[in-house]
A and B are shown apart, each in its own frame.
Chain A
Amino acid sequence: MKDDDARKPEATSGVSRRDFMKISAVTAAVPLVLGPKVVHAAGEDVAVHGPGKVPVALNVNGKKLNAQLEPRVTLLDALREQFDLTGAKRVCDRGACGACTVLLDGKPVYACSVLAIDAQGAKITTIEALAEADKLSPLMQAFVEHDAQQCGFCTPGFVVATTYFLKQHPTPSADDIRRGLNGNYCRCGTYDGIRAVALAQAGGKQS
């Protein structure tokens, strides 16, 4: 078996947390100009990435993060494995459960269903950026108060989805909540608390 650890980004030095060790953060937004090969297919020019690793630059939580990734790597796996942003969870890995929800240019997406290479150029916001340091956002605090979490595996996805939902529906009706927060699954059964969170944020009362 050939030693091929170079396939995985390795540590640089001088940074205490490994989160940052794998990441080369640059302050200015430098567009990647290493363009993919283009082929003409079905009457269109189509970019071909890979099959090997390609440089990928992502704008995550206001930071520019670079990694060498195979084109098949999803945004979710890139966030979790390359940048150690593990708040988004891998559960169904095919766009059914919402546990991996992140914001892409402010809109919620299932990060398991977006390729990392396709997320370049977009502003990516994960649960980790929704609160400062050790603090909780008011919404996170409401999740605690209404006990809208049990095992907690779906919770970050729900918090991200609810953050966006409440921006779109600052005073949601019960029906808005039913429709708007139906894109995430919870197995422990915390929906009653999540409903209460959404209603309380709207200044309403739980029916």
Chain B
Amino acid sequence: MSQYSWPDPATRPLLGKSISRVDGPSKSSGRAKYTYDYNPQGLLAGKILRCPYAHAKITSIDTSAAEKMSGVKAVEVIQGPGTEILWAGDEIVGVAAVDEGTAEDALRAIKVEYEVLPHFVSDAEPPKTIAADTGPVSADDFQDMEENQVPDEEVIARIQKSGISFQPTDKDYDSYKGMGVDSSIIAALKKAKYVPAENKPKSPYKKTALQSQGTPDKAFASAATVSEGLYGTPCIVHSCLETHGSAMEWPGEKEVVVHVSTQNVSGIAAQLAEPLSVPAGNINVLQQNVGGGFGSKFSVDRWDVNTAKLSKKAGGKPVKNMLDRKAEFEVAGMRPSAYARVKIAADKDGKIVAWESRSWGTGGVGGGGTPPLPYIFEIPNQRKQNTAISTNQGSARAWRAPNHPQAAVITMGAIEDLAAKMKMDPLDLVLKNMDIAGPRAQTYKEEFAIADGLMGWKKNWHQRGDTTPGNIKRGLGLSMHTWGGRGHNSDCDFSIHPDGSVEIKMGTQDLGTGARTIITIVAADTLGIPMENVTLLYGNNRYPPSGGSGGSTTSGGVTSSTRRAAVDARDALFAKVAPSLKAQPEELEAADGRVRVKGDANRSLSWKEACAKIGAVPLTVHGSNPDKARPPDLTNSGVGGVQMADVSVDIETGIVRVNKMVAVQDCGLVVDVKTAESQVYGALIMGISYALYEEKILDPVTGRVLNPNLEFYRLAGLSDIGELKVRMMTGKGYDERGVIGLAEPPVVSPGAAISNAVANAIGVRVPFLPLTPDRVLAALEEAGGSHAYHGVW
């Protein structure tokens, strides 16, 4: 029986070391090619005319002038007269022309008339009077709940209570199953009462049922300390540096070649097959590099289908349409906003006993996300209610760790305020509540001890409100987070060639996470050969399928299938080589570039000599994850991480600076320390960015995004990040859990930790991110002289 388990630390030449990413040279030299760079001879430029109104009905479209223009090759109406448009920037007409300038001129020649309808773009606190009953569940409501990971029980409860206003077909059910919708939900849909949509009240607010557990009223009444506060974070935009888009061409009547900026190479063809009426097997999806995704690039979008249709109209010539930055901000996804009024209580020892929250937020037309409140802590007595607000803006998409950063800002903010009111160090308060911190409690304890050392928390922490004279107030804050990260389904073909070279084919992608590097490390480590001997072919849907890179599922998936394949290939090689070493296959090992008899240095062959025994054709095996026939499970689910922030706030200008951040993170077995640490550094920086600067601002008058560009939608720059310390948890207690993904968890906490540090510095809570100077000054102003218990300057 082959030993698939991860090797012992003593026999890992590469695994767990710090290794530079294999795609580094192509990227730092500018040679790496992205979808945006695809530039074949005769390439046509695709452009889209977008709706300028946040809510309107198309009354007429006249494309005749554009079609007559010189250089225009194809015009395709995307949404025709009569269509109701629900957000500004939505696609109306696509044009392909010989170059971008000509395509833009053609867009200006198209006449579209609209009946402008009233829009709603506010995610301010909903009026208290709104009804909890939201009428029948529409197809959009359902999809929205699934996309936002609303708990299954809640989805079923809504379906049973309110009925559904759509009638799913068997095909719909199949597609739900494909999306991973639980069978209990499908059963509920099949049994649901059909209620026509006209019975649905016209309201942008969808209130969930009031959820409660334990005896919250009693717990609040008998608690030693009750703290109330307001917390939240606005809609923010992924801002991938490479915008969404694709290049499409038709080499044959029923054949499409797709270059697309995606997190989901293996999943694109199936999505394109129906809209293009082409068998999925005839659609070749290609992508070598992607300039950022962060959760926003799993699907084929309406603009991609349009690009393909324009190409077909233009005789199959390649057409490329990458969104411009403005469209990217309007239509290509965002993270939903989330705000909450929270009441939290503790007993005199600091045990948290009760939670109450009224939360709300928007994720565009479909409503909003439902942050998992309270985050991490299983507070015994709770009452909570969430209201999703439907607004006329482009829909939310998954954003690293969907709903978790929002939940952390709300929960960890409330816990910090509770600690401040009790004049208690929040680190002590959090550690006192580890019994309700879920399955990763032990991890958090170990991590907080390390973080304390790296930050000097115990040495430097002070009561709320820095009493140092002068404008500059300094403070510390902390947060913690969790995520699943189990490896996804992943297949690969793994070949050892008679010349000693190794080739892996896998339909995956590398978002800059280091996926290519860790696959190569696992293969080379297992075979005891240098990484240079391994060629990884990826980024093509003609290779064995591998899951989309979302939810931190890639690392566990691709390393597991690679490990199983590498072990099988190695064992098959041993069987071929054993006779010439006068040994049994199980007596052999592959290490240091040789195949040798264990414990007998005289009986060995170089890797090349050994591979020459393979014969004329390569030795090829298939690897899979999951694979119950080839245990053990090499991946796992559930990680913990903690972060601390040290900030300075100028109370005259309101400017917040991050002096230092510390992140201590677990992700099971770390395959490559260097790229793993980079993920965490990157998450801290992205976190500083959304904590201090990022906000998608909608104009209530026009319903349009006011800052759809990178000068008014500000990202953190190199000067904004302060000192960063990252520590990965490794060794016993972590390694043996297997490989777990890392992209989501470390981005959860920075907003909460920084917000808490600011409160600790200035003595008052700035309720909402980003912590811009105006918000900081407003919070100080509102507190006025009434910060009695804060004891500030």
With an 8 A cutoff between CB atoms, is A179 at the interface? yes
The answer to whether A144 touches B20 (Cβ under 8 A) is yes
1/0 per residue, CB under 8 A from B, across A42-64: the answer is: 00000000000000000000000
The answer to whether A152 touches B684 (Cβ under 8 A) is no
The answer to whether B718 touches A182 (Cβ under 8 A) is yes
Q: Please pick, from A147, A150, A189, the residue contacting B684 in the complex, using a CB distance under 8 A.
A: A189
1/0 per residue, CB under 8 A from B, across A70-102: the answer is: 101100010011001011111111111101000
Interface residues of B in 211-256 (CB under 8 A from A): 239-243
A1–B34 alpha-carbon span in the complex (Å): 31
With an 8 A cutoff between CB atoms, is A7 at the interface? yes
| Interface residue stretch chosen among B22-30, B174-182, B440-448 | B22-30
With an 8 A cutoff between CB atoms, is A207 at the interface? yes
1/0 per residue, CB under 8 A from B, across A123-152: the answer is: 000111011000011001101110111111
A72–B102 alpha-carbon span in the complex (Å): 11
CB contacts (< 8 Å) of B512 on chain A: these are 149-152, 188
Q: From residue A67, how far is it (CB to closest CB) to chain B in Å?
A: 12
A56–B233 alpha-carbon span in the complex (Å): 49
A95–B709 alpha-carbon span in the complex (Å): 10
The answer to whether B39 touches A152 (Cβ under 8 A) is no
With an 8 A cutoff between CB atoms, is A155 at the interface? yes
Q: Please pick, from B28, B30, B37, B683, the residue contacting A144 in the complex, using a CB distance under 8 A.
A: B28
The answer to whether B29 touches A147 (Cβ under 8 A) is no
With an 8 A cutoff between CB atoms, is B141 at the interface? no
The answer to whether B98 touches A131 (Cβ under 8 A) is no
A96–B707 alpha-carbon span in the complex (Å): 13
Interface residues of B in 17-65 (CB under 8 A from A): 20-21, 23-34, 36-37, 39-42
A93-B324 in contact given A84-B39, A144-B21, A185-B241 (Cβ < 8 Å):
yes
- Give the interface size class of chain A: 35 or more
With an 8 A cutoff between CB atoms, is A8 at the interface? yes
Q: From residue A69, how far is it (CB to closest CB) to chain B in Å?
A: 9
A73–B104 alpha-carbon span in the complex (Å): 13
A92–B37 alpha-carbon span in the complex (Å): 15
CB contacts (< 8 Å) of B291 on chain A: these are 89, 151-153
The answer to whether B21 touches A147 (Cβ under 8 A) is yes
A25–B209 alpha-carbon span in the complex (Å): 71
A153-B34 in contact given A4-B71, A91-B241, A192-B685 (Cβ < 8 Å):
yes
A147-B20 in contact given A128-B30, A193-B678 (Cβ < 8 Å):
yes
**Could you jot down 29 A-B contacts, CB within 8 Å?**
A4-B71, A4-B98, A7-B99, A8-B99, A18-B40, A18-B41, A80-B37, A81-B99, A84-B39, A86-B37, A86-B39, A87-B30, A87-B31, A91-B710, A94-B710, A95-B711, A126-B30, A130-B29, A147-B677, A150-B679, A151-B290, A151-B292, A152-B32, A152-B512, A154-B241, A155-B28, A156-B28, A187-B715, A192-B721
List the 6 closest A-B pairs by CB distance, nearest first.
A87-B30, A189-B685, A189-B682, A153-B291, A152-B27, A151-B512
Chain B residues close to A by CB (< 8 Å): 20-21, 23-34, 36-37, 39-42, 67-74, 98-102, 239-243, 289-292, 294, 322, 324-325, 511-513, 674-675, 677-679, 681-686, 689, 709-711, 715-719, 721, 723-724
Given A72-B101, A96-B709, A151-B511: 9 more A-B contacts, CB < 8 Å: A1-B73, A7-B71, A89-B34, A91-B243, A153-B292, A156-B30, A182-B717, A189-B686, A191-B717
